[in-house]
Structure 1
């Protein structure tokens, strides 16, 4: 059953039950009040009959065609109404007695009084007045009818009003349900509601965020899969060629270490591409560990330089690190290490032999890490595209082998740390890459 039907059923049932119990309570209360009024009326009639009997006046055969009575003097029936039998009724108490005669149930009131006549003779006068219980029930039912009739007529209108209010209130929820139901599996567009309640706003916002993340994830996966297949095709072909050359050299007995070195280089290149792809997938928003810790950037950069110092020596390159007073950041050590290692490897690879590499940590007031080199740099036209996956600058691509994933990984990790990355011309003549972290990430020591 839908929420709308459940709400309508429950609320209308609650209204009907409340009306029923209200009417029942009103009926009982009315009956009690009527009993008090009718008992007072019985007492008044009994007092009237007693007064008439004391003055020896003739009593009528009926009183309002409603009340019945018996009058006894010294135990002898002297007067009665036409409805009452001649037999005497025993009244156990003065009030609230009920007897049955003439096919009806009657409510009685009993009075007794001793009277001294002029002859000084004392007589006992007893008066028994009765009223049919049906009169009381009819009076209570008539009052109940008057009370409940407007309510009975109002119930259908209350039901329609409840239906209208619930239908209008749940319309945004029904619209949202229909929007989600009509969505195709490939449709990850945002949900838009013309009228949105306060309670549904967080749900719609979360759903739209989820759709946006799924859409970005699927697009990224499609792009990564297509580009990875394209990028791996070349090293695989080269490895096949190396294997073929080694086989021919072995058959001709002229196998040398050159073929094995070339094979090792191509295997290393393949491993590097695969490692970069794995790193790129690991550092996506869906897989990044949000539980950041305090990380000292100077320590991370020292580890990066230490682990890549052999490549610096081979290329006869000089490197310097200029730390700042504030070097502590909320982040992930491994992610930051990967970020800075990619920047350093790019600087080592593309700046050339005997180049100058400078790394600076700047607080102004943001925490900023700047990589500069004295290499040939990149033209202004190429700068906007260097963050794309597998994109490589054409003049460098023919001379230096690489995967084209380094700066794409750098940009992803920077984004995960809520930072910004920018590239420009270095003061040393080459490329300058600046990674700026916001104040929310910086921890004052």
Structure 2
């Protein structure tokens, strides 16, 4: 039934059903007309044959040939009398003077001969008007032969007509798909739009109905694009404006905390943690603004193996983190058409996410393959499937205890899609019962040859 879930499929089905109904009425009408015309033709032949046969049999009877045509034959020729032509020569009273051999075995019209047609159970008879000698002939055409002739004629008409139904359905389906192709093009153009691409859809070549829809949709996307641009500009400006005050406030808090003891030091530590969290949020907002601006793709391939080393060096500034990192990568360049800053943001977010959710003192495994796939694995309780599916959404989090903002995986996924790649998350890790793995793939990589 999936074929009829589409407009083209339904249009082909309904038009074909209407066509089939008209076809059936046409076939029935043709059958009735064919029956009537054939009966009329056979009746005409029956009358003409009887008119021609009467003088011949009349002369034969008067010439004494009746001995060869007994009125009551006793011999059986073996032919089925219901499927043979019958003739009977009678006088004015209806007495049989001569008849064909099979005539004795079938029912015949009763009464005095009267010019015209009559029927019995097996034959259609035509009785001629009496000749000057008062002789008439009743000539009978078998109904079985008439039906067989009608059946053969009707089947010869019906069989090629039956082929019209599937051919008509296929033709209507092709016409429907061709006529609705502009709608499929519009659907594909709409599907290609998202929050990062809201440019107007080209309405050139569209039918008038679709041009009106496209114009309305373009107006809506223009207003939506302006709203999103305003939101992005606000987030970017706010993040830029907050970054310096937050850094200054954090530095001052750390200096104050160094000279405090007791309860005051505890409160200062809480303020410091809050300012650090705010600093991370400001950094994420700046990354989000850059990702939404489309920084992912680059015309010049970058060595992501070397870029990964730089990201690891930045993470290793924290001694606690440096001790937990486990990096494996090829000893050769791995080239990919991605912006270096975009890769650093994506890889850094995956590593930060692993540190944030992994139990303390557990290793963070980072593996870069030669085909440009970056795997980041961390230990931890397995994440349910329904929660796992929402982690790549904006502000998607697995609970609130981790202290994350729900933006890191979203930003990474946005950058991956901009490059034509993908971000895949798994939990538990393949072959294990726990843990979390994020795989960042760049399908447009360019393999480098060994030096």
Q: With structure 1 as the length reference, what TM-score do the two structures score? A: 0.43
Pair member with larger Rg: 1
